[in-house]
Amino acid sequence: MRNTFIDTLTELAAADPRIWLVTGDLGFSVLERFAERFPGRYLNVGVAEQNMTGMAAGISTTGKVVFTYSIANFPVMRCLEQVRNDICYHNLNVKIVAVGGGFGYGSAGYTHHGLEDLAVMSALPNMTVLAPGDPVETRLAVRAIVQHPAPCYLRLGKGGEPVVHTSEPRFEIGKAIPLMSGKDLTLISTGGILSIVMSAARALEAAGFSVGVLSMPTVSPLDRDAVLAAAAASRALLTVEEHAPGGLGSRVAEALAVAGAGIPFAMLTADRSHLHLAGSQDYLRDHSGLSLEAILAKARDLLASGRNAG
Amino acid sequence: MTDPHLDTRAFAKSIRKHALRMVHRANTSHIGTCLSMADLLAALYTQVLNIDPAQPAWAARDRLILSKGHGAAILYAALAERGFFPPDWLETFSQDGSLLTGHVNHRVPGIDFSTGSLGHGLSVACGMAIAARRDAAAYRVFALLSDGELDEGSTWEPILFAPQYRLDNLVAIVDFNKIQSFGTVAEVLELQPLADKWRACRWAVREIDGHDHTQIAAALRDLPFEPGKPSVIIAHTVKGKGVSYMEGQLAWHYKAPNAQQLAQALAEVDAAP
């Protein structure tokens, strides 16, 4: 995803002189292709996320579209107050990009895991929060946020995420992307775990169930209409995200509760009871309850119970 | 644009009196920090800043970021005196429904950026300054800092950054009144030798008496102090300057003058040379 991101941004920047890229000294071997073509619109501020974020705000006041770039939590939490006060309060045209969402930097340890970013960013005013599901959604998301003159947060995988979309879907900020539709269960996914969710859906279909999949590249504002439509079309809903409670699942639950849409519902989130472990992204997904098997087990519970399986 | 007809000394008196009345009416804090930077603001808004009250968002204007956003009252007063909005707006300071919040608000005409949490302003100013440089725009960016906010690590990130990119269109001004929230700077977290710290970070430094109008004017006229370097003016000031019972008194970081104290304060400001 990060290669797709930088290639898309570089392509857009060739036609749009407003686009700037600011990094906190991360992105080695990735950002060079932008920096070499547009040195006058590239800045490495050093290992200083607060300055990166405050400066991005200042630059954007002069009519620029400013991307900040760093790893997992660094552009989000280290500088959270700059994001809140300097960017969101002023409703500035700054795009915060975090690579390695979820367990992307798995073996690096919990300091480098992005497990709370969607919740934190979704709490802020004026902020649009995106977590594309594959490289195709990533390309479309980058194009869309450049055209959206307000703060955006873009959570990306670290790299190597499989392509899920066989053709380019219609992409609009705040709109879900339906991939499959089914009467028994709809799986709702955000971020790079989409390919595993698709595998789960196919396995359930092979077992005779009618299963839908909604990819939610925008977490905030949530596409409530799509959630409620899925709740009307299928007997149960299951959300899956590589994130702690407070992200997609919580927001879907809120939408269902507010609408009074009583439906069997469960949310799979990352279990954080083993924060101290090293491991690959796959290992840590499995270990935190986000394996293909865990998704299938939770789906079967929901399908069997016909009631809220929590 | 500056206004040659404005008298800096009279302007300073006028904004001091506005701030005293505003803080009294609203019963709010921070009069001491307003008065310590009154003379600096008066010089900036009468002699230095290239601004147009009829076009607050004029793209070519000089920017001023009040990083010590709690000094809002006297900056609003300066903007009203320069005609950015009617002076009667000042009566709404900190009142229900007013835009004139207790820390500066960018929705008020003439305010370039909202601040309040300390340690944000210099980064934002750096961003504006590097954008100006790369756009080949001539405007300058001023950031007015408190001494207390030099405790914030985030202030030192742009202090390291600005010289790296030779931002000589950036000017930091430190209102060094030497009193912070719980006591003197020396007692809480000593900053001295402050000029040496900025020099070591590759800034061009000048120390002045922040109440001496001749020294203030000279420093602001000489910017940038060295081509290719950002400039910092360390202005030695007195918290509560101009009101005898407030000068150097920590309590006036918090208290608002009562009616009798206000009358005395206004009389003292009027009587000053």
Name the pLDDT band for A132 (thresholds 50, 70, 90).
very high
C-beta atoms of A48 and B106 within 8 A = no
Domain A177-309 is of which CATH architecture? 3-Layer(aba) Sandwich (3.40)
Beta strands A177-180 and A211-215 are antiparallel
User: What is the phi-psi region of residue B52: left when phi exceeds 0, alpha when psi lies from -120 to 50, beta otherwise?
Assistant: beta
pLDDT recorded at residue A78: 97
Is the minimum CB–CB distance between A48 and chain B shorter than 8 Å?
yes
Q: What is the mean pLDDT of each run of 10 residues along chain B (273 residues)?
A: 76 98 97 98 98 98 98 98 98 97 98 98 98 98 98 98 98 97 96 98 98 98 98 98 97 96 98 92
Q: Which fold would CATH assign to domain A2-156?
A: Rossmann fold (3.40.50)
In sequence order, what are the residues at sequence separation of 6 or more whose Cβ sits closer than 8 angstroms to the Cβ of residue B12?
B38, B39, B41, B42, B213
pLDDT recorded at residue B63: 98
For residue A308, pLDDT over 60 is answered with no
Q: Is B104 helix (H, G, I), strand (E, B) or coil?
A: coil
C-beta atoms of A48 and B157 within 8 A = yes
Out of A41, A48, A57, closest to residue B127 by CB: A57
CA B192 to chain centre: 21
Other Cβ atoms within 10 Å of A125 Cβ, number: 9
- Residue pair B246/B252 in contact (Cβ under 8 Å)? The answer is yes
Quote the tokens at residue B193. 């030798």
Query: Would you say the CATH fold of A177-309 matches that of A2-156?
Result: yes
Compute the C-alpha angle A5/A9/A11, nearest 5°.
120
Name the pLDDT band for A224 (thresholds 50, 70, 90).
very high
How far is the CA of A29 from the CAs of A2, A7, A198, B205, in angstroms?
11, 12, 31, 38
> Strand pairing partners for B141?
B63, B170
Is the minimum CB–CB distance between A82 and chain B shorter than 8 Å?
yes
Least reliable range by pLDDT among A74-83, A158-167, B32-41 = A158-167
What mean pLDDT do residues A290-306 have? 94
Query: Domains of chain B, with CATH numbers?
Result: 8-271 (3.40.50.970)
pLDDT recorded at residue A305: 78
Give dist(CA A87, CA A102) in Å, integer.
24
As for the ipTM of the complex, it is: 0.96
Helix axes B121-134 and A49-60, enclosed angle (nearest 10): 50
Out of B117, B125, B128, closest to residue A85 by CB: B117
pLDDT digits (tens, 9 = 90+) for A115-127: 999 999 999 999 9
C-beta atoms of B161 and A81 within 8 A = no
DSSP structure string for A232-261 = HHSS-EEEEESS-TTSHHHHHHHHHHHHT-
C-beta atoms of A82 and B128 within 8 A = no
The beta strand positions in chain A, using DSSP E, are 19-23, 42-44, 65-71, 94-99, 128-130, 152-156, 177-180, 185-190, 211-215, 218-220, 237-241, 265-268
User: Which residue out of A55, A91, A93 would a mutagenesis test of the B interface target, given it has the greatest number of B Cβ atoms within 10 Å?
Assistant: A55
| Chain A residue at shortest CA distance from B65 | A58
pLDDT recorded at residue B31: 97
| Chain A residue at shortest CA distance from B163 | A45
What amino acid occupies position B46? T
C-beta atoms of B120 and A82 within 8 A = yes
Q: Which residues of chain A make contact with B158, given a CB cutoff of 8 A?
A: 51, 54-55
Give dist(CA A40, CA B136) in Å, integer.
11
| Chain B residue at shortest CA distance from A39 | B134
C-beta atoms of B161 and A61 within 8 A = no
| Interface size between A and B, measured as CB pairs under 8 A | 87
Q: Which residues of chain B make contact with A46, given a CB cutoff of 8 A?
A: 157, 160-161, 164
C-beta atoms of B113 and A61 within 8 A = yes
Q: Which residues of chain B make contact with A64, given a CB cutoff of 8 A?
A: 131
Q: Kindly list the residues of chain B whose beta carbon comes within 8 Å of any beta carbon in chain A.
A: 59, 106, 112-117, 119-120, 122-132, 134-135, 153-154, 157-158, 160-161, 164
Q: How far is B171 from chain A (nearest CA, A)?
A: 15
Domain ranges of chain A: 2-156, 177-309
Beta strands A218-220 and B204-209 are unpaired
- Residue pair B130/B165 in contact (Cβ under 8 Å)? The answer is yes
Longest CA span, chain A: 60
pLDDT recorded at residue A131: 98
C-beta atoms of A90 and B106 within 8 A = yes
For residue A136, pLDDT over 90 is answered with yes
Q: Is A283 helix (H, G, I), strand (E, B) or coil?
A: helix
C-beta atoms of A45 and B131 within 8 A = no
For residue A307, pLDDT over 60 is answered with no
| Chain A residue at shortest CA distance from B61 | A62
User: Which residue out of B99, B106, B124, B139 would a mutagenesis test of the A interface target, given it has the greatest number of A Cβ atoms within 10 Å?
Assistant: B124
Name the pLDDT band for A218 (thresholds 50, 70, 90).
very high
Burial class (CB in 10 A: 0-12, 13-18, 19+), B271: exposed
